[in-house]
Chains A and B, each alone.
Chain A
Amino acid sequence: GENVEQHPSTLSVQEGDSAVIKCTYSDSASNYFPWYKQELGKGPQLIIDIRSNVGEKKDQRIAVTLNKTAKHFSLHITETQPEDSAVYFCAAIPPPSTDKLIFGTGTRLQVFP
């Protein structure tokens, strides 16, 4: 079955710097890759997603890139702010399922003022 690996497990950056989180997946047929942000005591919040027919997607300070050949995708956060501090999860949906999200193990991002 699909396996999603996520690195690094923790990431500390200075406010204003960029942060990059990387994920790899095993099933080449996977075609949807969302990123979730989870703050303490809350459920995961969808922040950006990408489908397999697109190589990059941006939304203000966040962007996701997808390399289908290498089976990896990355989250890029620019101009980080303390409120970006949270745990970030990548996920994938492997066929034949169109619904079952397979999550990575998470990255704890700390942004220091």
Chain B
Amino acid sequence: DTGVSQDPRHKITKRGQNVTFRCDPISEHNRLYWYRQTLGQGPEFLTYFQNEAQLEKSRLLSDRFSAERPKGSFSTLEIQRTEQGDSAMYLCASLQGSDGAIEQYFGPGTRLTVT
């Protein structure tokens, strides 16, 4: 257990519905990352936050995706009007962000299935 938690662990939804995932990073970590992992592939970067500021977004993050980290602690990732292609594992990672630390620690992920 890395100390990064994600909720829910599994989500099954019907196409067109909205879903929201939550990530709680390690408490002293000020950077938080979202990645997406499809079956048989490595994780792909989606976006990241430094405290509450969203600093980079991947082209993978379409307009249907939005991420927030309102108080610089937990983060949410919302997908609107889900499509079958959104089915994947959504991973959250955190990083201390000070003293030159660059190691990212991942949570267990939320597996999304869109039917």
B25 within 8 Å of A (CB atoms):
no
| A100:B48 contact, CB within 8 angstroms | yes
Residues of A in contact, count (CB < 8 Å): 25
| A103:B103 contact, CB within 8 angstroms | no
Distance in angstroms between the alpha carbons of A4 and B43 in the assembled complex: 12
Mark the stretch among B12-20, B63-71, B78-86, B104-112 that contacts chain A: B104-112
Q: Mark A1-24, 1 if CB is under 8 A from B, else 0.
A: 000101000000000000000000
List chain A positions with a Cβ less than 8 A from chain B. Answer: 4, 6, 32, 34, 36, 41-46, 49, 89, 91, 93, 97-106
- 22 CB contacts below 8 A, A to B, read A4-B42, A43-B2, A43-B109, A45-B2, A46-B104, A46-B105, A49-B103, A89-B43, A97-B56, A98-B102, A99-B31, A99-B48, A99-B95, A99-B104, A100-B58, A101-B43, A101-B45, A102-B45, A103-B42, A104-B42, A105-B40, A105-B41
List chain B positions with a Cβ less than 8 A from chain A. Answer: 2, 4, 6, 31, 33, 35, 40-45, 48, 56, 58, 91, 93, 95, 102-109
